[in-house]
Amino acid sequence: MPTAAPRRRRRVTVESLDLPAPFLAAATDAPPHHVRAALDLRLRAMLAHDPGTRTGEDIEDLHQMRVSVRRMRAALKAARPLLDPVWADGLRAELGWLGGALGPVRDLDVMLLRLRAEVAALPAAEQEA
């Protein structure tokens, strides 16, 4: 019985998502407009780092995704008086869950970097052990 060919994964990028143009705010725009622009910026950053976070190809993607999550949560908290509290609190909770899921993985990445640096500092004869 012939086996199916392995499925090739299509690399997802922000460009391939066909997002609308970035939402920008001018100095004269109302505060809610600035909140929307800030959230749009952070969402785009999350989407840009999502593929690398999922594949683990570059640990910097995971770090930057966590930064985006934290900044989005901070923006939602600071702008809470301008937003529907049920919506904002629900989104903050979901982002908190995501940040909590990413945190332990990032901790392991940092630990591995430190351990590799420690190993590199050992005499050559002890590095393999």
* Total number of domains constituting the chain: 1
Residue 6 lies in a domain: no
Residue 58's domain comprises 29-102
- At residue 2, the pLDDT reads 57
Residue 36 lies in a domain: yes
Decide if pLDDT at 83 tops 90: yes
Decide if pLDDT at 66 tops 80: yes
Class of residue 53 by CB neighbours under 10 A (exposed 0-12, middle 13-18, buried 19+): buried
Query: What whole-number percentage of the chain has pLDDT above 90?
Result: 71
> 22: pLDDT confidence band, cut at 50, 70 and 90?
very high
Decide if pLDDT at 59 tops 80: yes
Task: Read off the DSSP letter of residue 3.
Answer: P
Neighbours of 63 (CB within 10 A): 16
Decide if pLDDT at 67 tops 90: yes
Its pTM stands at 0.76
Q: What is the mean pLDDT of residues 72-78?
A: 96
Average pLDDT, the chain: 88
Residue 12 lies in a domain: no
- At residue 129, the pLDDT reads 78
Q: Rounded distance, CA 48 to CA 51, Å? A: 7
Q: Are 37 and 24 in contact (CB under 8 A)?
A: yes
Residue 4 lies in a domain: no
Give how far the C-alpha of residue 68 lies from the chain's centroid of Cα atoms, to the nearest Å: 5
> At a CB cut-off of 8 Å and minimum separation 6, what does 52 contact?
58, 60, 61, 62
